Structure 1
Amino acid sequence: MRRYGPALVLVLCAGAVLRISLFSELYLRYVQPGLRPYLIASGVLLLALGTVSAVAADRAARNEVRHEHADEQDEHAHGDDEHDHSHSPRVAWLLVVPALALLLFPPPALGSYSVERETAKYAAQGIGTFPALPEGDPVDLTLSQFTSRALYDSGRTMKGRTIRMTGFVTKDDDGTWYLTRLLISCCAADARPDKIEIRQSDAPAVDSWVSVTGTWIPKGKLGSDEAWPPVLAATDVRQVEQPENPYEKR
């Protein structure tokens, strides 16, 4: 079995990558949609390498059987060679654990724990005018669109408008709760939290996904720390399913 260990590890890794990228949308928990073709190509390449490795191992096994009646010196040399390489397959088997975990139990998207580890601070930059919001209420915005306008829009284009956004719930120790989304540039490793304080509504369960409708409450000077996080007075809070892509693009 040790002979086929590396090949099996490659095939398991290939299966895990292809499962989340080719046969499902789970890859969106970890990377941007644009990286999907590269994940699929990586999975196919790993599968091909695993197949080639298995074929090579099978040929080696056949050659070993063919020469099993070689003289004692050759058998001794073969035994030394096997000893020298016996540890390599054992190390390779360590990769089975994460591969199986990704294949059978893909980890969830980042949530409130990741937000608590980073405090976002905004400098007084980028203040200017923004395009007018589309007509009709409520207006659907992403959290990054809302926070950008709340912090930097000198024209106050959101004032008096009804806004609707989707995110997951996070809380402070004092009970204040936030509609939160993680922004990524490439993958989950560079995720940065974006959050909006929600008022006039009871807090749902932490990490639950909700759609919140309400009106913006201006606070602080544009671009200052006092303006962060922006505030929304909620008129409607509804629990929703987690979207296929739980992240927003920076």
Structure 2
Amino acid sequence: MSRMSQSLVLTLLGGVVLWITALTRSYLNYVKPGFRPFLLAAGVVVLALGIIGLVQEWRRPYANAHDEHVHEQRGKHAEGHDHTQAPKVGWLLSLPVFAIILIAPPALGAFAARGEDAPIRPPATAGSYVPLSGEKITPMAVGEFIGRAWDFRKRTLTGKKVRLTGFVVRSKKKDRWYVTRMQMSCCAADAIALKVAVLGAAPPPDDTWVEVTGTWVPPRSRKIPNGTVPPEMTAGRVTQIPQPSEPYE
């Protein structure tokens, strides 16, 4: 790839990073919100490097460019084949840039969370959670619901109405489906699925974002180790909603 091509790719890449970070919230499909300043800084640096490279190429005297072309042609005839064509494959490096512009990948969904009853990361202890109201419906993160459900000793979810927000993952079992939220440490590559089994409601299509209001179903046996199966809840109401601007927990 020529210097001009390298500079163009850098300019495109830097511009796209700044676009999805500064002008949209698309970056939240790939990283946590706290990474926004770093993405902005990286986009500015890459864009500046690309523009500097373009300016340097445009200012290069035509005579030097002509001499280089003549030298390349002589080398090509001397060897019997063209060495200048192979670097053109370097333009393939720009394909991910155009992919982000034309077909931006969505946040991880049902396909990534398909594993049935897969063990998940142990949550924070229920002792760190605030007490729940006995009458009001409490909006709750899926991870917090799982943490409280796993605390068999305190059982803070007993008789409490909660509202979970997540996307739908259909189950192989006919009596349930999962309200799911992906949780990541830094980026989508390390995301894991947090799932709560929903009972007593018809399953919406996969990847549908919903709010599920209901109550926790205590496990039938305490012999099941924590984290080996998702906890269960009986749904009183299921409402379809648009995807949140921050799809991950």
TM range (shorter): 0.7 to 0.9
Letter in 1 for 2:5: G
**Contact 2:14–2:47 (Cα < 8 Å) also in 1:** yes
Structure 1 CA distance for aligned equivalents of residues 106 and 123 of structure 2: 34
The answer as to whether partners of 1:20 and 1:26 remain within 8 angstroms in 2 is: yes
Question: Structure 2 vs 1, CA of residues 239 and 124 (structure 1 numbering), >3 Å: closer, same or farther?
Answer: closer
**Partners in 2 of 1:226 and 1:77 — Cα distance?**
67
Structure 2 counterpart of 1:77: 71
- Structure 2 Cα separation of the partners of residues 125 and 206 of structure 1: 25
Superposed CA RMSD = 2.9
Matched residue, 1:104: 102
Please report how far the alpha carbon of residue 30 of structure 1 lies from its aligned counterpart in structure 2 after TM superposition. 0.4
Counterpart Cα distance in 2 of 1:132 and 1:29: 30
Structure-1-length-normalised TM-score:
0.85
Contact 1:20 / 1:27 at 8 angstroms: preserved in 2? yes
- Tell me the alpha carbon deviations over residues 121-179 of structure 1, each in whole angstroms, 9 at most, x when there is no partner: 26999766454434351001100000011012521111011000100000122333110
Residue 55 and residue 163 in structure 1: after superposition, are their counterparts in 2 closer, same or farther (change >3 A)? same
Give the aligned partner of residue 173 of structure 1.
172
Structure 1 residues 26 and 172 mapped into 2: Cα distance closer, same or farther (>3 Å)? same
TM-score (norm 2): 0.85
Counterpart code for 1:111: G
Counterpart Cα distance in 1 of 2:32 and 2:170? 27
3-state SS of the aligned residue for 2:112? helix
- Alpha-carbon deviation of 1:120? 2.9
Q: Distance in 2 between matches of 1:223 and 1:130?
A: 23
Secondary structure of 1:133 counterpart: coil
State the distance in 1 between where 2:121 and 2:43 align.
42
Aligned residue pair count? 241
Partners of 1:160 and 1:185 lie apart in 2 by: 32
Distance 2:238 2:163 in 1: 10
Aligned equivalent of 1:115? 113
Structure 1 segments (4+ residues) deviating >2 Å: 1-4, 59-65, 74-88, 117-120, 122-136, 173-176, 225-228
Specify the SS of the correspondent of 1:115.
coil
- Give the match's secondary structure for 2:204: coil
| Percent pairwise identity | 35
Cα distance in 1 between the residues matched to 2:25 and 2:156? 35
